[in-house]
C-alpha cells in the first residue's frame, strides 16, 4: 500500500450516514440561514478564530463560542485563552449584533498521546502507526496524525450539545447547529478530520439525546458549498481586516510557537500557499535550532549514500557526530516503533514525531541490524557482498549512515 495515496476518508460510510441523517431523520446538514444561532467550538487556533469571523460576516450567524479548557491551566492553554480574548475584543466591536461572549468550560482528559510521546513510551504497534501516517508533499515528510486526545470531537460536540440546551432553557435561545473548526486539508493529517467521522459524531448525538435535529458541521463539505482550506481562511482574514499571527496553533506546551510540531508546520504551509507574510513568533529555541533542517529537503551528494541512507524526512536532533568505535555494536533504540511491509521498512521516531519510509537498501541494513546487533565491519562485509562498490567507500558511507541514525534516535551504539 502506498502511503502517499491513502484515502482520506471512507466515502461509502459517509454516504450511508448522510442518508440516515437526511432521509430518515431530516437532519439539516447545510449551513443555517442568516440570523440563525450556532455554537462554535473555538481553540484559539488560526482555523477556529478566523472561522468565527467568517460565520458572522459572510453568513450573518449569531455565534456562541465555546472553549474547552484544561482544569489545570498550562502555558499552552494560557496562550490559547490570550488568542481568544484578543480576537473576541475585535469581533465585539466589528460585529456587535451577532457577537456573543465566549463560554469557557473546563475538562480533564484521562489520556493523551502527547504525553506518551513526551515520555518516549512505545506506541502500540507499527501497524497502528502505519494506518495513522500521512504524506505531506509540501514538506516531503511522513507525519504521524495521532490526535493527542482521540475522543475530543465526541467530547467537544457533547459539550456543545449541553451548552445549546443551557442557552435554550435558561435564555430562550434556540440552537440546533454546532460548528467545528476543521479545515478541508486537515484530513491529510488525521482520521478525525473528515465528513465520515463528523457524520458519525452527528448521528451519535442524535441517537443518544433522543433529538434528531442536531447538526454537526465543519467547512469540509464541498457538496453543500461549505468548504475552506487553511490558505482560503487566511486569505479571508484580509476581508476580516485581521492579523492572523496572534492566533495560537502550536501543539507544544510552551508560550510561543515551537515551529516544529505538525500544527506549526501546517500553519507555515498555509501562510506560504496564501502568499501572506507570516508574522507568527516562532521564537522557541527548538525552532531556532532546527529551522533549516525542518524546511529543507536534505539530499546527499554521494551516489552510494543515496542508495543506502533513507529518504531523509526527519529532523536531526543535533549536528554533533556520535563517538564511534569499530568495536561498538549497533542496535535499534527500544523506543523506536517499526514494521516491514514488502521490501520497505517504516519507522517512527518519538523524538522528531516523524514516520519515515526507508528505501530498499536502508531497509536491508535495518533488518540486518535488528537481527544481528552487528559491528560496523559486519555491516560493511554484508554490504560488500551485495554491492559492487569500493570497500573503503562502503565503510565511509556506512559509518555516516549509522551516525545519522544514531543522531536521529533510531539506532544506539553500545560499548564493549
In a domain, 293, yes or no: no
pLDDT of residue 121 exceeding 80, the answer is no
In a domain, 27, yes or no: yes
Q: What is the mean pLDDT of the chain?
A: 83
Q: Which of 221, 253, 286 is the last residue of a domain?
A: 286
Q: Are residues 53 and 189 in the same domain?
A: yes
Please state, for a pLDDT cut of 70, what percent of the chain lies above it: 80
Work out the average pLDDT over 195-215: 93
pLDDT the model gives residue 6: 45
How far is 416 from 328, CA to CA, in rounded Å? 6
In a domain, 169, yes or no: yes
Work out the average pLDDT over 128-151: 70
Summarised one tens digit per residue, pLDDT across range 323-382 is 778 789 999 988 788 888 788 888 877 666 666 778 888 888 899 999 999 999 999 999
pLDDT of residue 285 exceeding 60, the answer is no
Cell 450511508 identifies what position?
16
Query: 3-state secondary structure string, 229-293?
Result: CHHHHHHHHHHCCCCHHHCCCCCCCCCCCCCCCHHHHHHHHHHHHHCCCCCCCCCCHHHHHHHHH
- Computed on alpha carbons and rounded to an integer, the radius of gyration of the chain in Å comes to 24
Confidence label for 294 from pLDDT (cuts 50, 70 and 90): very low
How far is 345 from 309, CA to CA, in rounded Å? 13
In a domain, 95, yes or no: yes
Q: Are residues 264 and 307 in the same domain?
A: no
Q: What is the pTM of this model?
A: 0.72
Enter the C-alpha cell of residue 396. 565511509
101 vs 150: which has the higher pLDDT? 101
pLDDT the model gives residue 115: 76
In a domain, 116, yes or no: no
Summarised one tens digit per residue, pLDDT across range 54-63 is 999 999 999 9
How many domains does one find in the chain? 2
Q: Are residues 248 and 155 in the same domain?
A: yes
Query: Domain residues for 342?
Result: 303-414
Q: Are residues 281 and 404 in the same domain?
A: no
Work out the average pLDDT over 181-197: 86
Cross-strand bridge partners of residue 141: 136
The CA-based diameter of the chain, rounded to the nearest angstrom, is: 81
Q: Are residues 71 and 170 in the same domain?
A: yes
In a domain, 255, yes or no: yes
What is the phi/psi pair of residue 411, to 5°? -120, 160
Nearest to 64 by CA among 201, 199, 173, 155: 173
Assign residue 401 the CATH number of its domain: 3.90.930
Q: Are residues 345 and 312 in the same domain?
A: yes
How far is 144 from 133, CA to CA, in rounded Å? 5
pLDDT of residue 168 exceeding 90, the answer is yes
Q: Are residues 268 and 313 in the same domain?
A: no
Q: Are residues 210 and 280 in the same domain?
A: yes
Amino acid at each position: 500500500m502506498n502511503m502517499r495515496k491513502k484515502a482520506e476518508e471512507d466515502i461509502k460510510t459517509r454516504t450511508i450516514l448522510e442518508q440516515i441523517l437526511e432521509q430518515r431523520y431530516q437532519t439539516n446538514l447545510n449551513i443555517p440561514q442568516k440570523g440563525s444561532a450556532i455554537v462554535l467550538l473555538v481553540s484559539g487556533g488560526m482555523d477556529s478564530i478566523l472561522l468565527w469571523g467568517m460565520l458572522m460576516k459572510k453568513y450573518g450567524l449569531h455565534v456562541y463560542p465555546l472553549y474547552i479548557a484544561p482544569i489545570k491551566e498550562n502555558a499552552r492553554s494560557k496562550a490559547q485563552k490570550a488568542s481568544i480574548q484578543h480576537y473576541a475584543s475585535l469581533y465585539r466591536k466589528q460585529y456587535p449584533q451577532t457577537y456573543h461572549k465566549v463560554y469557557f468550560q473546563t475538562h480533564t482528559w484521562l489520556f493523551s498521546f502527547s504525553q506518551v510521546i513526551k515520555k518516549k513510551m512505545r506506541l502500540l504497534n507499527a501497524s497502528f502507526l502505519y494506518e495513522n501516517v500521512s504524506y505531506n508533499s509540501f514538506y516531503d515528510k511522513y507525519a504521524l496524525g495521532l490526535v493527542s486526545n482521540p475522543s475530543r470531537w465526541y467530547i467537544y460536540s457533547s459539550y456543545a450539545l449541553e451548552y445549546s440546551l443551557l442557552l435554550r432553557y435558561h435564555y430562550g435561545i434556540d440552537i440546533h447547529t454546532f460548528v467545528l473548526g476543521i479545515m478541508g486539508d486537515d484530513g491529510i493529517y488525521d482520521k478525525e478530520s473528515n465528513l465520515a467521522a463528523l457524520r458519525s459524531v452527528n448521528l451519535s448525538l442524535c441517537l443518544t439525546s433522543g433529538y434528531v435535529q442536531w447538526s454537526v458541521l465543519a467547512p469540509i463539505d464541498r457538496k453543500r458549498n461549505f468548504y475552506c482550506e487553511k490558505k482560503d481562511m487566511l486569505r479571508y482574514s484580509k476581508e476580516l481586516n485581521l492579523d492572523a499571527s496572534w492566533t495560537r496553533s502550536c501543539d507544544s506546551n510552551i508560550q510561543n510557537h515551537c515551529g516544529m510540531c505538525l500544527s506549526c508546520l501546517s500553519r507555515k504551509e498555509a501562510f506560504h500557499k496564501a502568499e501572506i507574510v507570516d508574522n507568527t513568533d516562532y521564537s522557541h529555541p527548538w525552532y531556532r535550532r532546527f529551522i533549516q533542517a525542518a524546511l529543507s529537503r536534505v539530499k546527499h551528494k554521494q551516489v552510494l549514500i543515496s542508495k543506502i541512507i533513507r529518504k531523509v524526512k526527519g529532523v536531526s536532533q543535533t549536528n554533533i557526530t556520535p563517538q564511534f568505535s569499530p568495536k561498538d555494536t549497533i542496535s535499534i533504540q527500544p523506543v523506536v516503533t517499526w514494521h516491514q511491509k514488502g521490501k520497505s521498512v517504516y519507522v517512527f521516531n518519538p523524538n522528531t514525531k516523524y514516520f519515515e519510509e526507508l528505501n530498499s537498501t536502508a531497509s536491508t541494513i535495518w533488518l540486518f541490524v535488528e537481527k544481528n546487533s552487528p559491528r560496523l565491519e559486519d555491516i560493511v562485509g554484508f554490504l560488500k557482498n551485495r554491492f559492487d562498490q569500493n570497500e573503503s567507500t562502503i565503510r565511509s558511507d556506512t559509518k555516516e549512515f549509522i551516525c545519522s541514525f544514531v543522531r536521529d534516535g533510531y539506532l544506539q551504539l553500545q560499548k564493549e
